Each structure stands twice: as C-alpha cells, then as structure tokens.
Amino acid sequence: MADGTTGAAASGVPARRAATRGGALHRMARRRSTIAVMMCLPLFALIAGLVVYPFFYSIYLSMLSREMDRFIGLFNYEYLLTSDTFHLVVFQSCLFAITAVFFKALIGFILAHVMHNISGRDQRVWRGLLLVPWVIPPALSTLGWWWMIAGSYSAVNWFLQLVGLHPVAWLAITGWARFWVIVVNVWFGTPFFMIMYLATLKSVPEQLYEAAAIDGATGLQKIRYISLPLLRNIISITVLFSLIVTFANFDIVEILTAGAPANSTQVFATYAFQVGIGSGNIPMGAAVSLFIFPILAIFAIFILRGVNRRAKEAI
Amino acid sequence: MAEVSCRKVIKVYEGGVQAVKGIDLEIADQEFVVLVGPSGCGKSTTLRMIAGLEEISGGEISIGGDVVNDVPPRDRDIAMVFQNYALYPHMSVFDNMAFGLKLRKFAKDEIKRRVDEAARILDIQPLLERKPKALSGGQRQRVAMGRAIVRNPKVFLFDEPLSNLDAKLRVQMRTEIKKVHQTVRTTTIYVTHDQVEAMTLADRVVVMNQGIIEQIGTPQELYHHPTTRFVAGFIGSPAMNFLPARLDDASGRLSVRLNDQVSLPIPEARIARYAPFKGKELLLGMRPEHMFDYHESDMKPGFARLDALVDVVEPMGMETMVHFFVDGTPVCARCEPETPAAPGHNLPLALDLNNMHLMEAASGHVI
Amino acid sequence: MSGATLAGGTPQPRRGRRPSLARERRWALWVSYITLIFFAIGFLIPPYFEIVTSLKTSEQIGSGRNPWFVHHPYLGNFLYIIHNAQFQTFFLNSVKITLVVVVVTLLISVFAAYALARMRFFGSEGFATGVFLTYLVPESLLFIPLFKVLAALHLINNVWCLALIWPTLSVPFCTWIMIGYFGSIPRELDEAAMIDGASHMQMLWRIFIPVAMPGIIAATIFAFTVCWGDFLYPLAFAFTSTQMTLTAGIVSTLIHGDVLDWGKIMAANILASAPPILIYAFLMDYYIAGLTAGATKG
C-alpha cells in the first residue's frame, strides 16, 4: 500500500520504448490494486473495528468477573452450562428458531406457488398485500400483536368469549407463550421466503413444466420433481439466512414476553440482554451471547456444504 | 490514421496458457485486415492486446510508429466495436456517441458536429434521442460503429461485431461496414470466426490457428493458394475435401493414386512441382466446386474422371451437393441442379485437377 | 399417469374432452385465490387491528365493546401524537441518524463493491466472503462488547452512537447487493468506457452507478429499513428519551404511560411504520429485484 505514490507518479507518461518485463502497464496494474484496496478500506475498517474487534473483545469480557476486575477464565461458561435457566434458553432458542423457520419456509413455498399461478397485475397486488408484515419494523408490529393478544382488552379473548369460551392468559402460560412467539415470528418472516421463492420460480423455464405435463405429471408431481429440486439451493440459502436471523432474534421475544413466563420463552438474545444490560453483569451476558456464534457457524457449514455440493453437481 | 505492427507478440495468461505464440503482422495505413480463425485461436486476444485491454506478455505492438505496449487504451487513439455492442444502457444514442469526446473535453459544438456527421454516414439521425433499449440489433450495431467513427481514431477495432445478428441482417451490416470503411478509410482490424465475412470484407485476411498465424493474404490468394491444410480447409464453403493419396508413375505418367483402382493423372503444368514428392504420404485437397458432373464433351486438359457411389443428394436450387465416400473418407461434390445423381447409384464425376492441392500428410504443408 | 393430466396436448381420443386443460387451470386458480385470501387476511389482521385501535378514544377501548370495529373514528390520537414533543424527538432522531447511515452505507458499500467486483487484488475474494460471514456475528452478540466500546468512547446514551454502529447492520448486505449488480454489468461496458478514455472514478460515476441504479435503490431501501426498524441497539445504548429513536422510544417510554392510552400508542406505531411502508409501496419492485438478484447469484 505504501508504494501507491510511486505507482501514481509513473503512469500517465506515455511509454516510449517497449517495456522490459513489468513496465508501466505492470505498474498500472499495481496502482489499480492500490486504488482497489483504498476503496475497500472503509469497509474493512468498519468490519474490523465494529465486528471483529468487538467479537474478540466479547470473548475477553466473558472471562472476567462480574465486577470486571478479575480474570476468571471459563468460570462464566461453567456456570451457564450447569444453570437450569440457561438450559431452558438453549432449548427454547432451538425450538423457536427451528419451528419458526420451518413454518416460514413451508408457508412461503406454498404462497410462492399459488402466487406463481396468478397472472401479472393481480400478482403485484397480492404480493404487495402479503409483503406488509415484513415491511413494518418488527418491534412496532410486535407491540400491536401484544396488544391484540394480551392487552387489558385482548381482542383474541374477545373472540373466545364470543363463542362462549373462557379468556386465556395467553402469554402467562408456557405453551401458549411459546406458540405466540413463534406465530409472530412466522407472520413477520414468511413474506421474505415468499418473494425469494417466487423470484426463483419465475426463472424456471415454463417449458420444463410443459414437458412434465406431457410426460404425465400431476400438479403435485410437478412440484415434487421440478420445483423442489430446482429451488433446493435457494431454499437452503434462505433457510440458512433465516435461521441466523431467527436464532439471534431479539425484538419479538423481548416485546411480546420478555422471556416470561419463568424464562420459558427466553432466547439467547433476550437472556443476554437481561443478564448483561438489565442486571449489569456484562461478562455473563457476553458469555451467553457468545453461544450464538458456534451454533450459527454449525448451521452455516452444514447448509453451505450442501449448496456447494449441489452447485458442483449442476456443472 | 496509421499503420499497426505487431512484432513477435506473445500472450501468456496466468496459469501458463499461451494464447498467442509470437505473431508478426504489418498492417498498412487505411488497410482493412480481418483476423479469422476458429474460437480459441488467439484472434480476439491479439485484437485486445492491440486495444490495450490485455497486457502484452512479450514482443512489441506499435500504432502509427509509436510502441504502445505500455500505453493505456485511452491514450492509444483507437476505437473498438464489441460483439454485444457494449452501448451504455443509461445514455441516449447521442450521449453514447459523444461520451468519448466529452471525456476528452471536446467543445460542445464540435461534439455535436461530429455526432451528426457520423449519424449521417450511418443513417441513424432519427434515433439520436433514443435509449439503446429501444433500438433493434442492427441499429445498435450502427450506434456502436458511430461511437467509433466520431472519435476519428487512428485505428478501428472490431471484435466479432456481427455475431449477435441474424443471418439476413449480418449480410446487410457487412456491406454497411465495408461502405463505412470506404468512406472514412480508417485503418481497420476486424476479428471474426466466419470465413465468409473475412473474405468479403478484407483487403487482407490473417488466418490464425492455435495462437499462430497460418497465412496472411488477400482473399483470392487464400482461396487459390492456401499454404497449409488448415487454411485450405478453413477458407471456402462448403469446405475442401481431403483424401489420402500417394504420387506414382505406374501408368507412365505422374499420377495421384487414391487407392488400387483410382489414379488421377497430374496436369502437365504441375508435374515438375510434384515430382520430388513421389512415394510420400500426401493428402489431395479438392474443393467441391472443382468436382462436378461428367460430360464427355466438356473434358479439358487436366480434368479427370472419378466414379462415385452416391450416398446423399442435397438439392440447393442453383446447385446440388452430392455426397459420397472414397475409401471411407466422406467427399462432397458440387453438381448441376439437373444432375442424375441418386442415392445408391453410380455417378461419373469430372475433377478439375488444375485446381488441386497436394499437401504433406504429416505437416499439412501445401506442396 | 393419471387421466387428469392429458393436458400436454398428445391427442388422446379415449378421453378427448377438450376442456380438461382449462378445467385443471381453473381449479388451480381457485385453489390459489382461496389460499391467497386466507393468508392475506391472516397477514393483515394485526395491522388492521392497530388501525382500529388507533381510531378509538380510551373510553371506547375500555368499553368492552367489539374491539375489532370502530363505529365513530376518532383522530385525536394522531393529533396528540403528532404534537407530542417526545414523539417528535424520536421521529427526528430516527430521521437524521437513518439518513446519515444511509449515505455512509452507500459510500462504503458502493466503493467496496466496485473494487471487489471489478478490480481484483490480493485477497479480494476471501474478503468478499468475509464480508458476508459477518452475519454469523449478529447484533445480539455484538451489543454487549459494543456497549463497553461506546462507553469507552463516551457515546453511551448519545443518539449519534447509532450513526457509528448501524452501518454494521446495513453495509455487508448492501455491499453484497452491489457486488451482484456490478458483477452483472458486462465487461465490454468497462472496456468500451476505458477505450473512450474514462478513468476508474469516471467509470464508476458515469457508467457503473447509473447502470446499477436499481441496485443502488435497493441498497438504499435496505439500509433505510434496517436502521429505521432496529430495536436492540437503541434500546441498549440509550437511557433518556431525548436520545432514543422511534422503536425503542415508543416501546420503552410511551408504554409506561397510561395503560389505557393504547389508542395513542397505536397511532404512534402507525406513524412510525409509515415511512418504510410508503417506501415499499412506491419502490417495492426495485427492492425485490435487488434482493433476489443478490440471492440468486450468491
């Protein structure tokens, strides 16, 4: 990078003679890569300073005592691994992420297909309508959900009473609280899957389906033998992406239940927030949140390996 | 306007692939030179080195007498027309043509004058305000040429400019390009894989194969006097037939022996030239147009008769292509529309050996 | 090989009833519309409910009458919120920080994407992958160390700290979108520009950016939405209401007011959601194109 100035000075002068190896063009190439590095520098600084450094700093923090005056090694991790609450958090995070992503992918897949059946102008309108959940900031829409489910005048309970059932304290019962957290997440995230799959479906040549129809495939068989194999990569990628986002989700759980009842809906992010910022035990909070990374990395490795393998087979 | 010369130009890509293996080429001022060859022969790489889009690994390229090895493309004073036109999609036709001039800080009215002039030559004045998206393939092609013309550069470079057009338009644009060259007379280097395009456009054709130049010459020279088997086979459509052969004088006269039965007498004029090659493994090259229906009365000196067992007959209107085999080698002859040829039947053919080519089987050199 | 699928067009006299293809299509269309209507209702219930609530007075909300309908729409909640100083502060904070971050994001990601897509240099491919891998380190992991970092910079409880932090959310994905767009521009275009005499900067500014405008718009929308909707960082790094943005502000400040004031909270909610909704309404196609273009390439 330091030789950028010499390179800059040398070019621009039209060369008079044939270059001995690595002449002005070579310097130009080097200058070009210097410019390229400069252009990437802000991005590099951002990632290094505000992602990579904090990440390692977090590892360091997680090995301090609560008052951050003593180095206590892996004690915080030991403590967490034996803590029942933390076990609950791990369980709920996985349950939450996997269930929610499964339903998002499934509903997204169905919606993409039915949307694909519909012609242009109509499709735009429906797509616009179904995209609404994803457009509203989730923190705000979750607040609306909360008011609808559990507010003092729960609108959901109003329905129950209408058909003669007793009102339910939805977010105070473990099972229901978990159910609603997942529902809100599915509601928010499905449109993303839908538009991704729809875009991919649109890129599948219509002739493939026509050929399948001539070969005698029914509608479901067309999905099974044409859509699914062709969408497999994009399904993997969206599922990976969504797993990462859902696993690390904070907004929905924090606003809807804040982990209640009795930490049964607590996920990594909310628990880390409660421990780290809420109770001021930053090292422990860091330890909690750091568990997110290896789990995401494992997801990523598995799914990306599959994608790569299939990409290679495709060639 | 300027002459271009390449001296021992070499291109080695990262990873060691040698795309161009030492090319020597002198292009005169105002000349229209076509580089032609199969894909991967190095013709495009050569053009891109002249343009400055590829670094030169060895040798020397000069334009107008100045060595340009180290000169970036913008300072080489060249203009290039790309296969997919490479029009700037967000600019109008006018702006597309004016862009290079604007970057070179030409005065507004000078830009306008030049663009209008080029638009007039190319007959695209009504399109100047349109975006490339709203143009047909042929119109885009014209704009791409206009972009080259307005710059009034030393050299025009064309990289397969007609490949994306349909067959009919291609013929039309070919004429157009030739007309433009006759008007502006800028030195032009044109790359194509289509030998018809090469023959029709070029003052001189450079046939390339596997990174080297096989032959340089006018279209007529290449057609009548190819120096290698590759050129002989590449130029001309349908392609030349090649038959394994041997020279002998068993019949008392130097003849080409195709097999035990068939032996064709060499024309007088060529006997001296071929005599030294008696007994060697050779290939006989005959163009289809030099093999036609046999009529006793039309036989001239140097003609020979060959009886063929017809395999396939393809009537094309003004001629009929007849396919047959000689010892397992497929051969195509160009017969009259009313030829009696029929599949499975024998057909006597006349071979005009005055237009024969003989080459060494191993090296492919025409002798 | 069921009989219902003779659609393909092979003549089958045995079951030659012509409408079979049309019937199958119509049936598929019916199923599609019913599914769509079902999900559209499901998806739109929460926003609908928010709107209904926002149009009621506290008395109407507390009356125990049907919460799903509003008989006498009341705009007082919106008027109240618009004139509420706290809400104005939140809104202003959101606007100014988001705008700054969008500009910063575009600058960083467009330059980096241009370099990564077109000017290969040592380690550029690894770097491009690394940029994307930052998503394995989500904000819910970073907020704790960043809290300490910001504290050290004396930026805690200062809304401008978000201008520093938010680009970590927006830049990697925007860079990804832009690499996809720049990568899809044919190389001949740069070469033509190079021969026309453009420098790197001229090429970026006069060719790449205009041609990749849809990508730039998509990246802008993405950066905007991500920042506007972010909740964790503003919640974690701000304590006083003057330093909060909309999401954190509405949730943590307004909610603690009168419990029955949900009409006002929902009005605030709707006003805060309005900018992204409007942007999507007008620019949805760009956004979807940008998003899916990046994804199908990745």
Task: Encode pLDDT of B305-348 as tens digits.
Answer: 999 999 999 999 899 999 999 988 999 999 999 888 889 999 99
Confidence of residue C19 (pLDDT cuts 50, 70, 90): low
Same domain, A136 and A192: yes
pLDDT at residue C52 tops 60: yes
pTM of the model: 0.82
Mean pLDDT of A282-299: 90
pLDDT at residue C7 tops 60: no
Q: Is C161 a domain residue?
A: yes
Nearest CA in chain A to B58: A21
Length of chain B, please? 367
Instruction: Inspect the interface and report whether the beta carbons of C168 and A51 lie closer than 8 Å.
Output: yes
> Would an 8 Å CB–CB cutoff place A259 in contact with chain C?
no
Secondary structure class of B247 (helix, strand, coil):
strand
Mean pLDDT of C39-51: 93
Q: Is A72 a domain residue?
A: no
Amino acid C256: pLDDT? 54
Note whether B322 and B277 are within 8 A (CB): no
Instruction: Inspect the interface and report whether the beta carbons of B67 and A15 lie closer than 8 Å.
Output: yes
Same domain, C169 and C30: no
Task: Return residues 176-195 of C near B (CB < 8 Å).
Answer: 186, 188-189, 191-195
Same domain, C258 and C127: yes
Range of the domain at A40: 2-61
Separation CA B172–CA B154 (nearest Å): 26
Domain total of chain C: 2
Same domain, C151 and C56: no
Q: Is A66 a domain residue?
A: no
Confidence of residue C74 (pLDDT cuts 50, 70, 90): confident
DSSP string, chain A: -TTHHHHHHHTTSPP-SPPPSS-HHHHHHHHHHHHHHHHHHHHHHHHIIIIIHHHHHHHHHTTB-TTSSSB-TTHHHHHHHH-HHHHHHHHHHHHHHHHHHHHHHHHHHHHHHHHHHS-HHHHHHHHHHHHHHHHS-HHHHHHHHHHHHHSTT-HHHHHHHHTTPPP--GGGSHHHHHHHHHHHHHHHHHHHHHHHHHHHHHHS-HHHHHHHHHTT--HHHHIIIIIHHHHHHHHHHHHHHHHHHHHT--HHHHHHTTT-STTTT--HHHHHHIIIIIS--HHHHHHHHHTHHHHHHHHHHHHHHHHHHHHHHH-
Same domain, C58 and C175: no
Amino acid A86: pLDDT? 93
pLDDT tens digit string along B137-170?
889 999 999 999 998 899 999 999 998 888 888 8
Amino acid A25: pLDDT? 60
> Would an 8 Å CB–CB cutoff place B78 in contact with chain C?
yes
Nearest CA in chain A to B9: A18
Same domain, A231 and A144: yes
pLDDT at residue C181 tops 50: yes
Continuous segment of H or E residues that includes residue C188: helix C187-196
Range of the domain at C213: 80-295
Amino acid A305: pLDDT? 81
Q: Is C71 a domain residue?
A: no
B86, B103, B104 member nearest C191 (Cβ):
B86
Q: Is C252 a domain residue?
A: yes
Q: Is A71 a domain residue?
A: no
Angle between helix A53-61 and C139-152 (nearest 10): 90
Nearest CA in chain B to C192: B86
> Would an 8 Å CB–CB cutoff place B105 in contact with chain C?
no
Confidence of residue C298 (pLDDT cuts 50, 70, 90): very low
> Would an 8 Å CB–CB cutoff place A151 in contact with chain B?
no
B67, B72, B75 member nearest A18 (Cβ):
B67
Q: Is C7 a domain residue?
A: no
Confidence of residue C297 (pLDDT cuts 50, 70, 90): very low
pLDDT tens digit string along A56-110?
999 999 999 888 888 888 889 999 999 999 999 999 999 999 999 999 999 999 9
Instruction: Inspect the interface and report whether the beta carbons of C111 and A42 lie closer than 8 Å.
Output: yes
Q: Which residues in chain A have their CB less than 8 angstroms from residue C296's CB?
A: 199-200, 203, 234
Same domain, A52 and A96: no
Q: Is C14 a domain residue?
A: no
Instruction: Inspect the interface and report whether the beta carbons of B69 and A11 lie closer than 8 Å.
Output: no
Q: Residue A218's domain is classified under what CATH number? A: 1.10.3720.10
Nearest CA in chain A to B54: A25
Say how far residue A250 (Cα) sits from the centre of its chain.
Answer: 12
pLDDT tens digit string along C189-219?
989 998 988 888 899 999 999 998 888 998 9
Q: Which residues in chain C have their CB less than 8 angstroms from residue B90's CB?
A: 210-211, 213
Q: Is A67 a domain residue?
A: no
Same domain, C157 and C97: yes
pLDDT tens digit string along C54-68?
998 887 877 777 788
Instruction: Inspect the interface and report whether the beta carbons of B74 and C194 lie closer than 8 Å.
Output: yes
Amino acid A22: pLDDT? 47
pLDDT tens digit string along B267-311?
888 888 888 888 888 999 999 999 999 988 888 888 999 999 999
Mean pLDDT of C246-268: 77
Confidence of residue B47 (pLDDT cuts 50, 70, 90): very high
Domain boundary among C63, C94, C114: C63
Same domain, C111 and C48: no
Q: Residue C230's domain is classified under what CATH number? A: 1.10.3720.10
Q: Distance from B185 to chain C by nearest Cα, in Å?
A: 20
> Would an 8 Å CB–CB cutoff place C201 in contact with chain B?
no
Q: CB burial class (10 A; 0-12, 13-18, 19+) of residue A126? A: buried
Domain boundary among C63, C91, C114: C63
Nearest CA in chain B to A29: B55
Q: Which residues in chain B have their CB less than 8 angstroms from residue A26's CB?
A: 55
Q: Is A73 a domain residue?
A: no
Confidence of residue A266 (pLDDT cuts 50, 70, 90): very high
Same domain, C58 and C89: no
Same domain, A42 and A179: no
**Higher-confidence residue: A315 or A187?**
A187
Nearest CA in chain A to B62: A18
In chain C, the percentage of residues whose pLDDT exceeds 90 is: 40
Amino acid A186: pLDDT? 96
Give whole-number Cα distances, B285 to B243, B301, B363, in Å. 7, 19, 14
Domain total of chain A: 2
Q: Distance from C269 to chain A by nearest Cα, in Å?
A: 6
Task: Return residues 13-32 of C near A (CB < 8 Å).
Answer: 24, 28-29, 31-32
Domain boundary among A26, A61, A96: A61
Same domain, A19 and A153: no
Same domain, C265 and C129: yes
ipTM (interface pTM): 0.85
The answer to which of A73-82, B91-100, B102-111, C61-70 has the lowest mean pLDDT is C61-70
Same domain, A36 and A128: no
Note whether B320 and B314 are within 8 A (CB): yes
